[in-house]
Amino acid sequence: MHTKYDVVVVGAGPAGSIAARTAAERGLKTLLLEKRQEIGSPVRCAEAISHETLIRYIEPEAAWISATVHGGRIFSPNGTPVVIQQPNVGYVLERKLFDRRLAETAVNAGAEVLVKARVTGVINTDDQICGVTVRYHRRDHAIQADIVIAADGVESQVARWAGINSTHELRDVDICAQYLMSNLDPDVYSPEYCDFYIGRELAPRGYVWVFPKGPDLANVGVGIGGTISGRNGKLAIDYLNDFVRTHFPEGRVLSQVAGCVPVGDSLPEIVGNGLMIVGDAAHHSDPISGGGIANAMISGHFAAETAADAIAAGDLSAEFLRPYPERWDEEIGKNFRHICRIRDGVMKFSDKTFDRCAQVLNKLSPEKITMREIFKTVLLHQPRLLLELRHLIAPGWI
């Protein structure tokens, strides 16, 4: 470990590894720090990603793909399935191996990686972030850096140490619990589809997912609204257990994870003098699905490219780093506020309304059902939200 780098990236998830790889590819002396002893562990993710986004950054490899997904099934509260057929639309990953492979590509590009290296603070001189302090091998180290990229996840501390308020409102997070399960009922489970179950009783202000990882293996999880958690004495794990008892009574639990997912708008400020915030730390998860892998890689890439330009120009100010949030907003972020308004409106629907929407959609053939058709059908029950839909269709978001 050296004492001075061009870029220090904190956190070796997808956002951090892509940021480190991109910075190294641009010729920057780059250090990637991971507080845990093993990159990719523990897994706190449903592990799904679209083919289109994945291939922007890495070609699929059999070693870290658990299942290829050919569409989705959305089950309304009364159990009516809406089937979306999209061959080879995406994958369910083996995140431990996937994250490790992304970190490997950063190393191959020239970045240095340290595991079990816990960042304990930032070095702030005259309102300029110029490095981090690290606990490594039971010793404290000060590492200077022109730019620090915070990719330390939903529980990010780097941003707070730098004076940026990164806290979440309860309404803007989902509380999640997930099992890895085997011995699944083949009459209920399909290894070709990602399944989504909605309903106020099933998962208030959220949904249940069943994502395939093999012929008889799947991630089965639930996300509920942060303001819902604990109401009537029920936590996310209780809703998950209720679902499992009903749908997979013979299923076997192989592992369990839990966590918090940001589902609100992006952080209003994701740059500071010498600092950029990416991925879940920047609240870049999708406001409806909660998916964060794709957005994490995109934001990490954008941030590192901006860092390279800033270092080349010798200007590390927040103002010079602003092309990163502008680029993020242009491609993705500007749509978040529309998605949030749609989500808030749809979450007010009754279960009967969702059932009616499913009946309407089932008049179409599975090949013709798209996310656009689903949004249009759902929003016809709340016409004022059709304006938000227009904002999402125009740039090709849906």
Q: How far apart (Å, rounded) are the C-alpha atoms in residues 314 and 236?
A: 48
Could you tell me the pLDDT band of residue 297, with boundaries at 50, 70 and 90?
very high
- pLDDT value for 287: 82
Q: How far apart (Å, rounded) are the C-alpha atoms in residues 46 and 116?
A: 24
> Which stretch of 98-102, 157-161, 346-350 has the lowest confidence by average pLDDT?
346-350
Higher-scoring residue by pLDDT: 87, 391: 87
Residue 371 has pLDDT above 90, yes or no: no
Domains, the chain, in order of start with CATH, read 4-44+96-166+267-321 (3.50.50.60), 52-91+170-262 (3.30.9.10), 340-393 (no CATH)
Residue 384 has pLDDT above 80, yes or no: no
pTM listed for this prediction: 0.90
Higher-scoring residue by pLDDT: 379, 52: 52
* Cα Rg of the chain, angstroms: 21
Nearest to 158 by CA among 131, 137, 126, 138: 131
Higher-scoring residue by pLDDT: 364, 313: 313
Higher-scoring residue by pLDDT: 171, 68: 68
- pLDDT value for 379: 62
- Residue 220 contacts by C-beta under 8 Å, 6 or more apart in sequence? 178, 179, 180, 181, 208, 209, 210, 240, 243, 244, 248, 251
Average pLDDT over residues 142-171: 91
- pLDDT value for 140: 96
- pLDDT value for 380: 64
Q: How far apart (Å, rounded) are the C-alpha atoms in residues 82 and 362?
A: 6
Supply angle C-alpha 349, 355, 356, rounded to 5: 90
Q: How far apart (Å, rounded) are the C-alpha atoms in residues 12 and 32?
A: 7
What is the signed CA dihedral for 43, 46, 52, 57, rounded to 10 degrees? Answer: -10
Higher-scoring residue by pLDDT: 384, 245: 245
Q: How far apart (Å, rounded) are the C-alpha atoms in residues 159 and 150?
A: 7
Q: How far apart (Å, rounded) are the C-alpha atoms in residues 397 and 331?
A: 9
Average pLDDT over residues 217-229: 93
Q: How far apart are the first and last CA of the chain?
A: 45
Angle, helices 14-25/293-313, rounded to nearest 10 degrees: 30
Average pLDDT over residues 367-386: 63
Average pLDDT over residues 223-231: 90
Average pLDDT over residues 39-62: 91
- Residue 71 contacts by C-beta under 8 Å, 6 or more apart in sequence? 83, 84, 85, 86, 87, 89, 192, 193, 194, 366
Q: Percent of the chain at pLDDT above 70?
A: 92
Do 64 and 93 form a contact (C-beta atoms < 8 A)?
yes
Residue 178 has pLDDT above 70, yes or no: yes
- pLDDT value for 381: 58
> Which stretch of 24-33, 79-88, 353-362, 370-379 has the lowest confidence by average pLDDT?
370-379
DSSP character for 232?
Answer: G
Q: pLDDT tens, 195-220?
A: 999 999 999 988 999 999 999 999 99
Could you tell me the pLDDT band of residue 350, with boundaries at 50, 70 and 90?
confident
Q: How far apart (Å, rounded) are the C-alpha atoms in residues 88 and 61?
A: 14
- pLDDT value for 209: 96
Mean of the per-residue pLDDT values of the chain = 90
Average pLDDT over residues 159-182: 90
Could you tell me the pLDDT band of residue 63, with boundaries at 50, 70 and 90?
very high
Average pLDDT over residues 242-248: 97
- pLDDT value for 398: 46
Residue 397 has pLDDT above 50, yes or no: no
Could you tell me the pLDDT band of residue 359, with boundaries at 50, 70 and 90?
confident
The torsion angles phi and psi of 257, rounded to 5 degrees, stand at -135, 160
